[in-house]
Amino acid sequence: MANTAEEPYRTARDGAENLISLTIDEHRELGREMKATARRLRALCDLIISVYGPGNRAAFSFLKALEAINRLEQDLATQAMQDLPGYPSNDLYL
């Protein structure tokens, strides 16, 4: 299936998992990007909470986004364990 403007990415419901895994270098790069994204999102969340308070709807959404990022990092660490048996893959994402 080709990616088009209407279909910018595949989703889990599109079919079976791809049998091609990320390389160690690709996992390292993705891990760095995920950690940087999480740090930036945390800083923005802290800013919104300090300005609007923890009961604000935007603050709540930021907290939910952080939870989702943390869950994604855990899922990526699990995937890296499958892709790189014997490598301490938790260090890549967590």
pLDDT for 45-60, tens place per residue?
A: 999 999 999 999 999 9
The answer to whether residue 64 sits within a structural domain is yes
Range of the domain at 31: 22-85
pLDDT value, residue 1: 46
pLDDT value, residue 94: 87
3-state DSSP call for residue 49?
helix
pLDDT value, residue 12: 55
The answer to whether residue 17 sits within a structural domain is no
Number of domains in the chain: 1
pLDDT value, residue 8: 55
Residue 88 has pLDDT above 70, yes or no: yes
The answer to whether residue 12 sits within a structural domain is no
Residue 63 has pLDDT above 60, yes or no: yes
The answer to whether residue 48 sits within a structural domain is yes
Contacts of 66 (CB under 8 A, 6+ apart): 38, 41, 42, 45
Residue 27 has pLDDT above 50, yes or no: yes
The answer to whether residue 9 sits within a structural domain is no
The answer to whether residue 11 sits within a structural domain is no
The answer to whether residue 26 sits within a structural domain is yes
Closest CA to 73 of 88, 89, 84: 89
- 88 versus 69: which is more confidently predicted? 69
The answer to whether residue 71 sits within a structural domain is yes
